[in-house]
Amino acid sequence: MDFRERILAAMNHEEADRVPVMGLIMDPTTVNLVLEKKPVDFAGLLKRPVWGLLIRYLMNTNWFWRRMYYGNFAGSLKSAIKLGFDANWTIYSLMKLNREPESALGWAWHDPFGRVWELGRAPDGSMAVNYTRGLCETEEQWEAWVEQKKPVYEALIKNVRVFHKKLVEKYGERIYPIGYAAPGIFENSWQPMGFVNFTKMIYQKPDFVKRIVDFQTDLYMKYLDAVMESGVEVVLGGDDLGQKTGPLMRPELIEKLYGNSYRMVADRVHEKNKKFVFHSCGNIYQLLDKFVDWGFDGIITMEPTAGMDLGKVREQVGHKLVLVGNLDVSYLMVRGTREEVDDAVKKAIKDAGRGGGYILSTCHSHPFVDPKRLEWMIDSAHKYGKYPLSV
């Protein structure tokens, strides 16, 4: 079997020749280490008068951003191929540099959805970003923002289409690129105004919140269509609906606000004869039955540090959902021993691999994930993941 057949067999709850292994490589630090490239100190260059001026100009031009961002994810796929993954996710993002007095650098990224992303340095000196706040705290600010950004949304969808299609055409013969439509409807609803503001609005201005959700659902469907034009049979989508102790909102409220939107998403993917895997961090036991009801084909993350146990998830949903992920990135894939990685892979395969329907993966990615431990993970998967399973 090749990587594509292996992934599709798992998505159909069939036992392939072995459990497939998916990479979540996206951080420049990981790419630099795997491909033995020198990091670029973006934050440092931004502080220099001449270089800073040039970078700010180039980064805010669509043609340069598209080229630069594509190059980053081309590096991610090359890294995943070199390490031996069967698949790797691909995620498009569009950002502009803006003056930000509160930032240490005086500049920060703003995305089309109304979020501020703080610039920082990863361990090797390359760029790292983190969401810090929203730009649309009031109804008036949100209305003005979406009106102003109409041309940007059109450019975003066009870029998404080109980005994913180009990556599949270039690397699809060597690895399975799984396009990720992100961020999702829930995150795009609350993050531009902050969680506290948004939860107040749910009760104080329910009609406004419905308008937000309807707008974000419509935009997300266009985004998802663009991702699916890459031609692959499996796509990712999702929202972080959970925190360490449970869902961010009551499941009943999530159903009320977003249930129909998520059903529409699943239906759209199935209309295109594709499979949909939903990403959510956090403790999401209370939402697993919702995912089945909404029509999702699989879920990815199952964050162990949030109490998600792979065996318990499989016991709860059976083979109604394909399971992807669960290997820890807080300790195991950062400084775990070879034996610990080996044991974790063996346990994951034992807990979820029988009958197919499991794709081995880390639960997420960040700059501290060690490529050597990713290598160990793949080696262990090849050792213990051969069907029929013996673990």
Predicted confidence band at 283 (pLDDT cuts at 50, 70, 90)?
Answer: very high
Query: How far apart are the C-alpha atoms of 283 and 280, rounded to whole Å?
Result: 9
Least confident of 52-56, 260-264, 302-306, 338-342: 52-56
pLDDT at 93 over 90: yes
- The reported pLDDT for the residue numbered 306 is 98
DSSP three-state, residue 166:
helix
Query: What average pLDDT does range 178-194 have in this prediction?
Result: 97
- The reported pLDDT for the residue numbered 120 is 84
Query: What average pLDDT does range 322-339 have in this prediction?
Result: 98
pLDDT at 47 over 90: no
pLDDT at 105 over 90: no
pLDDT at 106 over 90: no
- The reported pLDDT for the residue numbered 249 is 97
- The reported pLDDT for the residue numbered 156 is 96
pLDDT at 210 over 90: yes
Asked whether 361 and 380 are in contact (CB, 8 A), the reply is: no
Domains of the chain from N-terminus onward:
3-38+79-94+138-384 (3.20.20.210)
Specify the higher pLDDT residue, 172 or 62. 172
The closest alpha carbon to 127, from 38, 227, 27, 264, belongs to 27
Specify the higher pLDDT residue, 123 or 70. 70
Q: What is the mean pLDDT of the chain?
A: 96
Least confident of 122-131, 190-199, 256-265, 275-284: 122-131
Handedness of CA 129, 130, 135, 139 (dihedral sign): positive
- The reported pLDDT for the residue numbered 41 is 87
150-165: pLDDT as tens digits: 999 999 999 999 999 9
What residues contact residue 301 under an 8 Å CB cut-off, 6+ apart? 279, 280, 281, 308, 324, 325, 326, 363, 364
10-29: pLDDT as tens digits: 999 999 999 999 999 999 99
Asked whether 329 and 363 are in contact (CB, 8 A), the reply is: yes
To which H or E segment does residue 22 belong? strand 22-23
